[in-house]
Structure 1
Amino acid sequence: MEDNIYFKILELFGNKGRHFTTEDLARELGTSKRTIYTHFSSKNEMIDKTIDFVFGEIMKYDNSILESNEYSFQEKLEMFFHNLPDTYNISAIIRHSDDLQKYYPESWRKLNVYLNSLWDGVIQLIESEKDKTKKVNTVILRLILTETLRKLLDYEFVAKNQISFDSGSKAMYDIVLYGIFKRNDSQKKE
């Protein structure tokens, strides 16, 4: 049930921002407010633990990719890109970032620390496999990935540009891994 609590909090925060209530959460979960308070002492703690849950799941998966010997370097990079936060609906929190900054500043700082470190595994993998890539400035790569992801999680940006998170993240993935030049058939097989 615990994972379900976090997904419901994400859903409620995405729909109502800071205005969701413990009563809303209890109703969604089919339980009582008292039960909710056995897990959390406040709404602030609900949001904080939800952010930890989302990024904890991402980091667990990323670490399993890094530690695995089953996959090639390219397969590992692809797996990192497929494990982006929208899978866990973090965009629901980003959508209400103004409220988060104003009313839950510690949670906002925590979210930013996680977003800034999200690409650590990719950078670590690239640096450990330098012989398999051309020389890459990983500081710039991290900047490109982080800022692109932030824009793809920005509801207004995505709506204004009529792109989806999935299509935007696939475009980012294609550009980062394969560049902007057309590939011939022999390059596509590599």
Structure 2
Amino acid sequence: MDGEAQQQLKLRIYEATIEEFREKGFKFTMDDMARRLGVSKKTIYQVVRDKESLFFDTATYIYEQIKRSEQAVMDDDHLTTVEKIKAILIAMPDSYSELDWRQIYQLENSYPRIFARVRVMMEQQWDNTIELLKRGIDEGVIRNIPIPVIKTMFEATLEKYMETTVLIDAGLTFDEAVQYTLDVLMDGISCKE
């Protein structure tokens, strides 16, 4: 298999992993993957070592797609700074919006290396957001609250959502909870008069 064909297969495998996760959570098998892709398991194992590597590589792939979504927000000249902040904090490709991110907590015990990778990726995605927050403060459209406080509040909340069953117990989707979190972060909890 040449380099181009292997790269295309990798992308198909990552997307198939996302689909399997969407349908079955972490319980899908490599046989499920092979059926979805219409290839043999041997072909899949030419690209990935094992299921843990598959999850690790797919997490990296998703992170790269999220960064592309963030860049699209940054490049959109029709959005105000506040609109960009809101959009970038929830930046996610549409194809990932139906993923049940509430299940990420299961990684901590089964795949701790991947769980650690997800946490690092969450911590690394703040460059654009910090730039926008500073711009918002300079423009006077964002209160001058220390940025580490804002970052910690949002990041810790997302981590809690992913590390526990709090959303499942509350009957909330990850997207709903993130939107509520963003609303509270940006507008507070008091009713406006």
TM-score, normalization: structure 1?
0.78
Runs of 4+ in 1 over 6 A off after TM superposition: none
Aligned-partner residue type, residue 170 of structure 1: Q
Match of 1:129 among 116, 136, 151: 136
In structure 2, stretches of 5+ residues that fail to align are 1-8
Q: Deviations over 1:40-77 (max 9, x none)?
A: 23333211210111110001111232243332112212
Name the counterpart of 1:23.
Answer: 31
Name the counterpart of 1:160.
Answer: 169
Residue 125 of structure 1, CA deviation? 0.9
Please say if residues 119 and 145 of structure 1, whose CA atoms lie closer than 8 Å, have aligned partners that are also in contact. Answer: no
Percent identity, please: 21
Please say if residues 151 and 158 of structure 1, whose CA atoms lie closer than 8 Å, have aligned partners that are also in contact. Answer: no
**2:114 paired with 1:115:** no
Residue 176 of structure 1, CA deviation? 1.1
Name the counterpart of 1:176.
Answer: 185
**2:87 paired with 1:79:** yes
**2:18 paired with 1:6:** no
Residue 84 of structure 1, CA deviation? 4.7
Please say if residues 66 and 76 of structure 1, whose CA atoms lie closer than 8 Å, have aligned partners that are also in contact. Answer: yes
Distance in structure 1 (CA, Å) of the matches to 2:115 and 2:178: 23
Distance in structure 1 (CA, Å) of the matches to 2:100 and 2:81: 27
Name the counterpart of 2:150.
Answer: 141
Match of 2:111 among 100, 104, 109: 100
Residue 11 of structure 1, CA deviation? 4.7
Q: Tell me the SS of whatever aligns to 1:153.
A: helix
Please say if residues 6 and 53 of structure 1, whose CA atoms lie closer than 8 Å, have aligned partners that are also in contact. Answer: yes
Q: Tell me the SS of whatever aligns to 2:39.
A: coil
Q: How many residues are treated as equivalent by the alignment? A: 179
Residue 6 of structure 1, CA deviation? 1.8
Moved more, 161-170 or 133-142: 161-170
Moved more, 143-152 or 20-29: 20-29
Residue 21 of structure 1, CA deviation? 3.5
Please say if residues 65 and 79 of structure 1, whose CA atoms lie closer than 8 Å, have aligned partners that are also in contact. Answer: yes
